[in-house]
Structure 1
């Protein structure tokens, strides 16, 4: 059966509507503007090809391998509820098949390249600033990753990179299709063998094997957390992330903060310093790291424990109503080293919810 595609877009009407929206709400984020206009963010960006937007083509893994030539940039990964921004360089890149990693000291990424379908170079004015970015989208038009030039970026290398990957045909259309959920089927609670789920969880030795556990037992993340019991998952107050960030900022505990899109997991490792609320947004506003989290979108917060050879590794995980994992936070650690006592002590202060 063919994959469903989106209806054909009236490009002149979309551009006209977007310009009107931008005039009335100049600070509106691209993703929110696209939602208001009834299209995907990728479709909105594509519609502007020829007006500050250049369509890219070629092998995107090869383009990623060339990103170190740009020097210092800002990497941005987001989901519907959280934005993760890191400044640094794309170094120590290793790509094999549809998986890849970037292991710079600052820019730390896990890449899932089957979700990298479309690429664009974008130049636009935003709040009085001339911004240049490389933007990548999944087949359904969801943003998977963006790379922004900063003051110290190698601009000649940037322009040469864009030139090498500029598409011969600058089409303003993308063929959006429905991207399948990686866990397309799930059991109802009553049908889950909870004892087997707990046994499998207890036998874990690497947190990266957790997705395989979900798939084997046909459960979602939040369903697994609800069913597995307090040995491995404890629900806490939804203000937990703010409490953790503020206490880490005052106490100096280094964190690992993970935010994922369909195509990337982006990681900050280190301390946080400036934590501020702005309306419903919980923000970290540090020189090299920014986090913007919609606190009103948090439907549940969990302290989650997974076995590793060194004992247990513990995370604070936030979920939206639709089951999306918003953000995942650990104490800073490296494989082979036990979890930090100060991280466990911080989590022990969180209020438990029934």
Structure 2
């Protein structure tokens, strides 16, 4: 049952929507006309290709995914108002959900419940055993509650997008989720404006790295050797003025070894074979999502290499990998080793560690696994 406060909010929203619909019917704005045309184009496309995913449909129609979702406002889609950090704090009430974070070449899906949430200004953490997230809320610009028909029935989700309209994070209800809590959350966070359409803006172009000859490689190596925590790495790169893969090239092979493009796949296969627990990270500017534990069921489908485990799915576009690296960083707990993959633009696709908590030494089984990849012909 929806609470009285939520019911009042919903009644007020319905009245506001009726007024908005009346005004729109009399004199639709150019933005509304564009959104309604897009809605018609989407309907036609769905009629031809009913199983097409939203991201692929947006690409076919030449728009962002946020624009595609927003064109359906009033037709199974409700726009949410921020601040999104406050909405995230309500997620534990949903019970078990599936969360999805992706970038251009990797999709990371986890099933679990939200817990241990902390939000500080534009930063956030979710530290539940299953749902483990790092949040960068400056990149969360719009959000929607989405109801859609799928092959398996009606599906409800909360979807959030960056200023360019690219999805940063999605939360899907499951059979055991709390639908009443979902409706209550949506009702309490409705945006007053529920008309179709969403403005988006292009992101600034990524600044190219400085020429290698302008980087002080001696300083880079010194600062790398002095690292005390893996979380200090980004700040170190910024201080030295060097790009991430550029630093890998310049620091020396004892700290950064370039390996073959199949090495990440080989590491997953080795982890599955040896039951080595690992940590797999994937993300975008708004979210980093982490799986910790074993992997078991692996399957290759066309260009995608997949982990299809209960509670964790990873879909990795193998033909997008341009470089792969084994990286070793000094910390107060000893050397910490990662396996990282990048696309041709230098964007990080996914990265992997052995399972480890702060204050613990790196696992020997993970070190043996990485060593086997280096000696087994993985080097580029």
Question: What's the TM-score, normalizing by structure 1?
Answer: 0.94
Look up the match of 1:299: 322
Aligned to 1:266: 289
- In structure 2, relative to structure 1, the CA distance for the partners of 1:220 and 1:19 (3 Å cut) is farther
2:244 corresponds in structure 1 to: 221
CA distance in 1, matches of 2:264, 2:231: 22
Select which of 305, 317, 330 maps to 1:282.
Answer: 305
Shift in Å, 1:42 = 1.0
Superposition RMSD in Å? 1.6
Residue 84 of structure 1 is matched in structure 2 by 108
- Matched residue, 2:379: 353
Find 2:226's aligned residue among 167, 186, 203: 203
1:35-63 per-position Cα deviation (integer Å, ceiling 9, x unaligned): 22211111111111111111111321111
- In structure 1, how many angstroms separate the alpha carbons of the residues matched to 2:224 and 2:305? 32
For each residue in 1:96-129, what CA deviation from the matched residue of structure 2 results, as whole angstroms up to 9, or x when unmatched?
Answer: 1111100111000011011111010001122343
Indicate the structure with greater helix content. 2
Question: Using the alignment, how far apart are the partners of 1:256 and 1:264 within structure 2?
Answer: 16
CA contact (8 A) 1:185 1:218 kept: no
Length-normalised TM-score, structure 2: 0.88
- Matched positions, count: 347
SS, match of residue 162 in structure 1: helix
The answer to whether the 8 A contact 1:26-1:127 is kept is: no
Q: Does 1:167 align with 2:191?
A: yes
Structure 1 segment 233-272 matched on structure 2, within 5 A: 233-272=256-295
Q: State the distance in 1 between where 2:184 and 2:269 align.
A: 42
Counterpart CA distance in 1 for 2:236 and 2:199 is: 33
Structure 2's unaligned 5+ residue stretches are: 1-29
8 Å contact kept, 2:263–2:378: no
Q: 1:326 to 1:160 in 2, by over 3 A?
A: same
Residue 216 of structure 2 is matched in structure 1 by: 193
Query: 1:10 aligned to 13, 18, 34, which one?
Result: 34
Residue by residue, what CA displacement relative to the aligned partner does 1:278-298 show, whole Å, maximum 9, x if unpaired?
Answer: 111111111110101111111
CA shift, 1:245, in A, is 1.1
Output one character per residue of 1:248-275: Cα deviation in whole Å (capped at 9) or x when no partner. 1121100100011111110000011101
Please tell me whether the aligned partners of residues 135 and 143 of structure 1 are also in contact (alpha carbons under 8 angstroms). Answer: yes
What's the CA shift for 1:185?
5.8
Q: Provide the C-alpha distance between the structure 2 equivalents of 1:222 and 1:23, rounded to a whole number of angstroms.
A: 44
Return the offset for 1:206: 1.0
Alpha-carbon distance in structure 1 between the residues aligned to 2:241 and 2:95: 43
How far the C-alpha of 1:210 sits from its partner, in A, is 1.3
- Contact map agreement 1:317 1:328 (CA 8 A) in 2: yes
CA distance in 1, matches of 2:242, 2:200: 28
Give CA-to-partner distance per residue, 1:289-343, whole Å, 9 cap, x none.
Answer: 0101111111111111111112110001011111110001000011111101111
Checking the alignment, whether the CA contact within 8 Å between 1:315 and 1:329 is kept in structure 2 is: yes
Q: How far did residue 180 of structure 1 move?
A: 4.1
For structure 1, the 5+ residue unaligned runs are 1-6
Match of 1:38 in 2: 62
Moved over 6 A (4+): none
Report the Cα distance in structure 1 between the residues aligned to 2:156 and 2:243, rounded to whole angstroms: 38
Take 1:262 and 1:13, find their aligned partners in 2: how far apart are those partners?
30
